[in-house]
Amino acid sequence: MQQIIIHVDMDAFYASVEMRDDPQLRGKPLIIGSLPNERGVVATCSYEARKYGIRSAMNIKEAYRRCPHGIYMHPDFNKYKTVSDQLHDIWNTYASASQTIALDEAYLDVTDTAKNWETARQFAHAIKQRTRDELGLNCSVGVAYSKTAAKTASEEKKPDGYFEIPDAEAFVDLIIDRDVRVLYTVGEKTAKKLHAAGIHTVRDIRENSDEVIRLCGKHGRWITQVAFGIDDRKVTPYRPEDAKSIGREVTFQKDVSDYELLRDILILLAFCVEHRAKRVGLQGRGITLKLTYSDMKQISRSHTVSQTDSAMAIYQETSRLLEQVDRRPVRLIGAGLYNLSGEDEEIQLTFDEMFREEKENDEKLRSQLLSELHQRYGLDFAGNLEKIYHYEILHKTVEYMRKYRKQQSSSGGAER
C-alpha cells in the first residue's frame, strides 16, 4: 500500500502565539528574537514583518534598519514548549507514527489509520480545524505520498494553507521548472555550487544527474532521486537519544575579555545543560566548550569523559578547556554534552554503593560554587536555578554579571 503522509507546519509560530495572547499585536510587524539595541538575530517574525524582507536568522540590526517601527520581543520558549505539547497531542491522535521535527512541525504517518486518501484528507482538515478552534492558531498542512512531497505541499499555500500531492508524477509536475532550492535538502551552499555549474532548476538536475552526483557526492545522489520524485523514507518517531548533542550558549551584548567572568558563566551553562539532559534521560560521553570571538571566528574544544549528566563534570571540564584557548575578546560562550545515550543501567544499579562518596563530593562542590557566585554577585543563584533555566532569565542574569564585573573592575573590586 502506498504511504500517506501528512506534514503539519505552524505559521510564524512564536509570533502567532504572541499575537494570540495579545490581540493588540495582530496585524503589526512583530519580530521575535533579540531587541534592536542588542546583539543577536531574528528567531521568527509575523507575515506583516516579512513584507519588509525580514526573515529568520537575519541580524537584528538589519531587521531594525528595514523595519524601525516594528515591535521587537524576546522569545518565551517555556510558553512555546507548552503550546507545542498541546499541538502535538492534537496531531498525534490521527497518526500511527509521528516524527517531531521542531516545536511547530511534524510528519504524521496516516497510512494505517486513514487507509485511503479521502480519509487522510479529512484528517488533514480536522487537524487544521482543531488547531484553530482549540488553540487559536493556524497551521499549513500537506498530504502526500512521501515525506519530501508532504513538506513541499505544506509550503505550497502558506499561510493557513492546504495542498495535496498524490504521487511522484504530480510532485515532479509541480516543481520541475522551479529553482533547485525548492528541494528542501538543497541548502544555500549546495544551490550556489549547482548554479555555478549551470544547474538552476529541478529539470536541470534530472538532465544532469551524473554531474550533480560528481559535484555533491552522496548528497547529490539523494538530490537526483528526489528530483525524480523518489523518496520512500518512513516516518520515524523522534527519540531523545537520537539527538547529537545537548548544549546551551549565550551571546554577550558587549565582548568579554574577563575570563574569570567566563568561568562563572560556565557554571550557569553547566546547570542548564544538566537540567536539559536529565529532563530527557540522557547522559554524554563527551563535553564541549564553544566560543565565538569578537571577530566572529568560532572555535570548539571537546574532551571524552566517563558517561555523565553532572553539571559539576560539565563545569570542571569546560573550565579546563577554557584555560587552553587563546585569550581574546569573546562574543559567545557555550557548553554542551555529546555522544549521548540513555542512563547506564548497570551503573545506576550500583551507584549508591560504589559512588556514594563521589556523589557527596559533587553535592558539596555544587553548593560551594553557588555560594561563591552569591558572594561575588549578590544574587541567590541556589534559590533561583529553576528560573535561570529559562532562556530570557539566563541572558538577563549573564548581562547583570557582566556589567557587575566591569563595574567592580573599574573600582578595583573584582577579585576571585
363 carries an active-site annotation: no
The C-alpha cell that represents 228 in the structure block: 525524480
What are the tens digits of pLDDT across the range 48-63?
999 999 999 999 999 9
The amino acid at residue 274 is E
Give me the helices (H) in 341-412, please.
Answer: 345-354, 356-377, 385-388, 391-410
List the chain domain ranges: 5-10+80-227, 13-75, 240-410
Position with higher pLDDT, 330 vs 343: 330
* 146: nearest Cα among 240, 210, 239, 222: 222
Domain 5-10+80-227 homologous superfamily, CATH: Reverse transcriptase/Diguanylate cyclase domain (3.30.70.270)
Neighbours of 114 (CB within 10 A): 22
Q: In what order do the strands lie in the sheet with 245-256?
A: 245-256, 330-342, 282-293, 298-308
Secondary-structure percent of the chain, ordered helix, strand, coil, rounded to 5: 50, 20, 25
3-state SS, residue 114: helix
Determine the pLDDT at residue 362: 78
Q: What is the DSSP letter of 234?
A: P
- Is pLDDT at 183 greater than 70 in this prediction? yes
Largest CA distance in the chain: 75
The model's pTM: 0.74
- Is pLDDT at 203 greater than 90 in this prediction? yes
The C-alpha cell that represents 182 in the structure block: 525548492
- Is pLDDT at 355 greater than 60 in this prediction? no
Tell me the average pLDDT across 391-407. 90
Contact 29, 49 (CB under 8 A): yes
Q: Kind and range of the H or E element at 217? A: helix 209-227
Euclidean distance between the first and the last CA atom of the chain, given in angstroms as a whole number = 68
CA gap 2, 153 in Å, rounded: 17
CA 216-221-225 angle, 5° bins: 135
What are the tens digits of pLDDT across the range 230-258?
999 999 987 666 667 899 999 998 999 99
What are the tens digits of pLDDT across the range 130-179?
999 999 999 999 999 999 999 999 999 999 999 999 999 999 999 999 99
3-state SS, residue 243: coil
Please tell me the CATH code under which domain 240-410 is placed. Answer: 3.30.1490.100
CA 300-301-302 angle, 5° bins: 125
Determine the pLDDT at residue 344: 47
Look over the chain and give the mean of its residue pLDDT values, rounded to a whole number: 91
CA gap 38, 17 in Å, rounded: 23
CA gap 192, 89 in Å, rounded: 40
Binned at pLDDT 50, 70 and 90, residue 11 comes out as very high
The amino acid at residue 120 is A
Catalytic residue among 18, 48, 105, 274: 105
What are the tens digits of pLDDT across the range 15-44?
999 999 999 999 999 999 999 998 888 999
Hey, what CATH topology would domain 13-75 get? MutS, DNA mismatch repair protein, domain I (3.40.1170)
CA gap 250, 273 in Å, rounded: 12
Contact 304, 339 (CB under 8 A): yes
Neighbours of 184 (CB within 10 A): 12
Q: Which residues contact 136 (CB under 8 A, 6 or more apart)?
A: 20
- Is pLDDT at 345 greater than 70 in this prediction? no
Determine the pLDDT at residue 360: 65
Assess whether the previous peptide bond of 68 is cis (omega < 30° from 0): no
Determine the pLDDT at residue 413: 56
Query: What are the CB-based long-range contacts (under 8 Å, 24+) for 189-196?
Result: 190/216, 190/219, 190/223
Task: Give the rounded distance of the alpha carbon of 319 from its chain centre.
Answer: 25
CA gap 266, 303 in Å, rounded: 16
Contact 98, 87 (CB under 8 A): no
